[in-house]
Amino acid sequence: EAQVTQNPRYLITVTGKKLTVTCSQNMNHEYMSWYRQDPGLGLRQIYYSMNVEVTDKGDVPEGYKVSRKEKRNFPLILESPSPNQTSLYFCASSLGGRPYEQYFGPGTRLTVT
Amino acid sequence: AQRVTQPEKLLSVFKGAPVELKCNYSYSGSPELFWYVQYSRQRLQLLLRHISRESIKGFTADLNKGETSFHLKKPFAQEEDSAMYYCALRETNTGNQFYFGTGTSLTVIP
C-alpha cells in the first residue's frame, strides 16, 4: 500500500531535549516536505527536498534541521526544542515532476513543555 | 508576508445551495494555485489545480489574475462536501516552495 508514515504520532517532551520525527514513503517519490499546522496559521512549510542530498528552506525553517540521505526517508530534527514548536507536523511526498500532488502523512502532534 | 488569504474560517451552507470558498493571493510572478481538502479522519489531499481547469467532485476554481483570486465553487453543495479546504500557492520562481492559506471549514447542512 502506497503511504507516507510518520513516527512518533504523539510526543511530549521538554525544552532543549533533542528529538527526531521520522518520515518515510514507499512510492519512490523525489519530492518530500515538512509542514507545521497551527491554529489560525494554517500549514506552513518548514523544509523541502527535491531529491537525495538536496534540501531547501521553506517558510519557517528556524529551529529545525532536515536531512535526505535516502530517497524514502526525510527526518525532521529539533536540536533544542522550545515551547513555540508545539504544533502538529505533517510530512508529505510527491513525484518530482508533480510536486503539487502531495501525499500527506498522518501527522505528529508535538508538545514541548 | 502572507501569500495566500482565506478570509472565511467557517462556512455553512444548506444542501443543494451554491457554495463559494474564497481565496486571494499575493505573488509577483506567475503562481500555480491549488485547492487541497481534508475530510474528517482522512489525510489532506489535492482537490484541483488551476492549470488543469478541470472539475473535481463538481468543484471548479478559476484563477483571476486581475483580482488575484482563486475562489472554489460548486453549484449544488452535498453533505459529503463537508471538510476543511486549503488554498495553496506554489512558487514558480524557485519551483517548489508552497504557501497554504489558513483554511476554511465547510459544513453542508442537510
| pLDDT tens profile A25-83 | 999 999 999 999 998 898 999 999 999 999 999 999 999 999 999 999 999 999 999 99
Q: Is A61 on the interface with B (CB under 8 A)?
A: no
| pLDDT tens profile B26-55 | 987 778 899 999 999 999 999 998 877 788
pLDDT band at B95 (very low <50, low <70, confident <90, very high): low
Please list, residue by residue across B53-73, b when 16 or more beta carbons sit within 10 angstroms of its beta carbon and e when fewer do.
eeeeeebebebeeeeebbbbe
Is B102 in Cβ contact with A102 (below 8 Å)? no
Q: Which of A40, A59, A105 sits opposite B99 (nearest CB)?
A: A59
Instruction: Determine which helix (DSSP H) or strand (DSSP E) holds B100, and give its type and residue range.
Output: strand B98-100
CA distance B97 to chain A (A): 6
